[in-house]
Structure 1
Amino acid sequence: TVAIQRCQIHKARNIMDRLPKELHASTRRVLRQAWELDDAQKAEKLIRNLARRLEQDRPGVAASILEGLDEILTVVRLKLPTELRRSLACTNIAENMMGTIRRVTRNVKRWRNGKMALRWVAAGMIEAAKGFRRLKAHKQLPILRAELLAHRERLAEKPVAPVSRAA
């Protein structure tokens, strides 16, 4: 599988929207503490404990906390440096570019073929690039590349269970 990181900021916001104000500070503190840990198993345990505490009174919130749990901790599992984790834990960079592409392509009424779509998307990306700033942790990107390659290798090493055929 591909390593996917879901936005921690949006996840926290969605959780807070469903909680009463008196639970915001403690919930936000647990989420932040989990996301700042270097150990993904400990982080997952913290988040699961939070969900367990909320399960009785707020089952919907507890389910929301657990939904996508693996994808919320991807940058922690990859053991990335803290500064790079902070930069990649939020999807705003990608969403900003996608919004620019939508804006650039919204007036196209008739898509002739795939090549035309690619040209328009490229034009949108060029437009979006005008507003790009350097990633704060840009010097750590080789670490990200190495960790993603190692992740891919670990996945390739896992044996696949044989498929049994029903008679």
Structure 2
Amino acid sequence: MGRRRAPEGPARPGLIARAEGLRESTGSWAGLLRDRRRRGVRDPELVVGDGAMGLWRALAEAFPAARHQRCRVHKARNVTNALPESAQPGATKAIQEICDVEDRKHAEKAMEAFVKTYGTRWPKAVSKITDDREERLAYYDFPAEHWIHLRTTNPIESTFSTVRLRTKVTRGAGGPAAALAMVFELVESAQARRRAITGAHLVPLVRAGARFGNVFPVEREAAA
């Protein structure tokens, strides 16, 4: 996904590539990403995804400078699934507190509180929080206006649900080429209903390398 601007109106997220692939394999992702690089796509500032390892392995090859952000919804589901049902409501609230605070400092404190509360009895669940700490909190380095777009893959998941609904109804699209064409048309149609990018005027600053502390841009640390 990437940024697109219609001839008139606000900037919205948009499709930049689609390809036939084998589920979420590294090879399928690598082919798509290498094609984007050949066509001139720069390393993204941030890539948001779930825990499927195929994407992250392929990304390390094709766009090694891109930072990673794990989807908060998928992560919360993975963590609670590793807990007994009795502990899930409290854990869900604690996970939300990690993601919904005003800055990284408070998020890290909330994460440490989660470890203290659940670490002794359920270390497996806690490891799902702590093992990819940076990938969970990367979005805090971006404008606060953008956080709503960067913390989860839900915006694109809603588009995929439209595609899945149609493919179930058609029960076959007449071959791979026809299926890709149908998916493209469905996604193009769904894009018009996507939420406009909040703080779109800040995107050039992000691409120029600015890092943000809550709201205001801060200078990058000098290279060692």
**TM-score, length-scaled by structure 2:** 0.52
Asked if 1:42 is matched to 2:109, the reply is: no
The 1-side partners of 2:223 and 2:94 are apart by 33
CA distance in 1, matches of 2:100, 2:223: 28
1:158 aligns with 2:223: yes
Alignment correspondent of 2:140: 76
Aligned CA RMSD, in angstroms, stands at 3.4
Greater share of helix:
1
Cα deviations across residues 50-84 of structure 1 (Å, max 9, x unaligned)?
12432211111111111322122222232422xx3
Q: Secondary structure at the match of 1:4?
A: strand
Q: 1:142 to 1:4 in 2, by over 3 A?
A: farther
Residues 38, 79 of structure 1: 8 Å contact kept: no
* Equivalent residues, number: 145
State the alpha-carbon separation in 1 of the partners of residues 143 and 101 from structure 2.
10
Matched position secondary structure for 2:114: helix
* Structure 2 residue identity aligned to 1:138: I
Segment drifting more, 139-148 vs 45-54: 139-148
Partner residue of 1:31 out of 95, 98, 101 = 95
- Residue by residue over 1:95-133, the C-alpha shift from the partner in whole angstroms, topping out at 9 and shown as x without a partner, is 566785xx799943xxxxxxx9xxx97874454121122
Q: Which has the higher strand share?
A: 2
The runs of 5 or more residues in structure 2 that have no matched partner are 1-64, 212-218
Is residue 88 from structure 1 mapped to residue 150 from structure 2 by the alignment? yes
Residue number in structure 2 paired with 1:134: 194
Secondary structure of the structure 2 residue equivalent to 1:158: coil
Task: Specify the alignment match of 1:60 in structure 2.
Answer: 124
2:48 aligns with none
Alpha-carbon distance change, 18 to 105 in structure 1, aligned in 2, over 3 angstroms = farther
Identical-pair percentage: 20
Residues 21/88 of structure 1: CA separation in 2 closer, same or farther (3 Å cut): same
> Could you say which structure has the greater relative contact order, defined with CA pairs below 8 angstroms and 6 or more residues apart?
1
| Larger-Rg structure | 1
What SS does structure 2 have at the residue aligned with 1:5? strand
Tell me, in whole angstroms, the C-alpha distance in 2 between the residues paired with 1:126 and 1:11.
30
Task: Provide the rounded CA distance (Å) in 2 between the counterparts of 1:105 and 1:92.
Answer: 26
